[in-house]
Structure 1
Amino acid sequence: MFRLVALLSGFIFGVGMMVSGMTDPSKVIGFLDVFGHWDPSLVFVMGGALLVFVPGYFLAVRRQKKPLMADQFCLPKTRKIDKKLIGGALLFGTGWGLAGLCPGPAITAIGSGALPISLFVISMLVGMRLVNLFSASSNRTLAAER
């Protein structure tokens, strides 16, 4: 049942991204180009998403002991802003601004068969693998130093 709910949720999310234009890199870049030919239409998409998410989040987290389909809520354990968080945000924002895609919309748009989107997803997967490799070797080095 969990997998069916996850599949249905992902499908609805993907359809929403396609209908809203979030999978169109030129639309996203137009939204991010606030000092040029700015396209504010995605503000309404994000605002609509927040109107649904925020009340649902607070109702669920404050009134439920656990989610319907999981053993516990997966909430951040820290609010610390460190170099890794800032670096990751800068890298994400730079990639989003240059490519007009971020991971969710890119995975949704891969079904279009467009070569640039496929290259973006492949590059993203390679980058994720490299981070895992470097993180694992960094953690082994730190453990050995102790």
Structure 2
Amino acid sequence: MQRTISAGLIGLVFGTGIALSGMANPAKVLNFFDIAGTWDPSLALVMVSALTVAAIGYRFVLRRDKPIVETRFHLPTGRKLDMPLLAGSAIFGVGWGISGFCPGGAIPALGLGEPTAWIFVGTMLAGIAAARTIRMGLQARATQTA
């Protein structure tokens, strides 16, 4: 129960930050990518601020033996740049540049009543399901040929 409450509060803080910074507004995000037109540098400011807060937070949090509501820290161990990582990053970037939404901005936009967020989140979930299906099929095929 404590873990669920903690996750909910963290999500609320994150979503509030996204909404207050304007990053749930796809037009604001798209203006960041429009360097030759109506460029809006505020997304860079939000990202630099978030990275600064995260870097400071990691320094304090990782000094602890374990998290407050978990038995251990769950940090990534892989450092390999492989094709799934690169392809996924490229698809994420193209989708963000086309729609003005990333998952972190789209979910709070649902709560703000942004109609295009519903379309984005629906297609995002469909893409996740398709990617899982393809990955499982490839793994099954690799297992059969091995």
Which bin holds the TM-score, normalised by the shorter protein?
Answer: over 0.9
Which whole-Å CA distance do the structure 2 matches of 1:69 and 1:32 have between them?
39
Which whole-Å CA distance do the structure 1 matches of 2:23 and 2:115 have between them?
18
1:108 matches 2:108: yes
**Aligned positions of 1:77-116 closer than 5 A:** 77-116=77-116
Aligned to 1:23: 24
State which drifts further: 41-50 or 2-11.
41-50
Aligned to 2:121: 121
TM-score, with length taken from structure 2: 0.92
Q: Which stretches of structure 1, 4 residues or more, deviate above 4 A after TM superposition?
A: none
Q: Aligned letter for 1:137? A: G
Deviations 1:50-81 (A, max 9, x none): 221101112322x2222112122121121111
State which drifts further: 19-28 or 46-55.
46-55
Q: How far is 1:6 from its partner?
A: 0.8
Which structure has more relative contact order (CA 8 Å, sep 6+)? It is 2
Q: Aligned letter for 1:67? A: P
SS, match of residue 65 in structure 1: coil
State which drifts further: 105-114 or 5-14.
105-114
TM-score, with length taken from structure 1: 0.92
Aligned to 2:45: 44
Deviations 1:106-146 (A, max 9, x none): 11111233332111110000110111111111111111112
Percent of residue pairs identical: 39
Unaligned segments of structure 2, at least 5 residues: none
SS, match of residue 66 in structure 2: coil
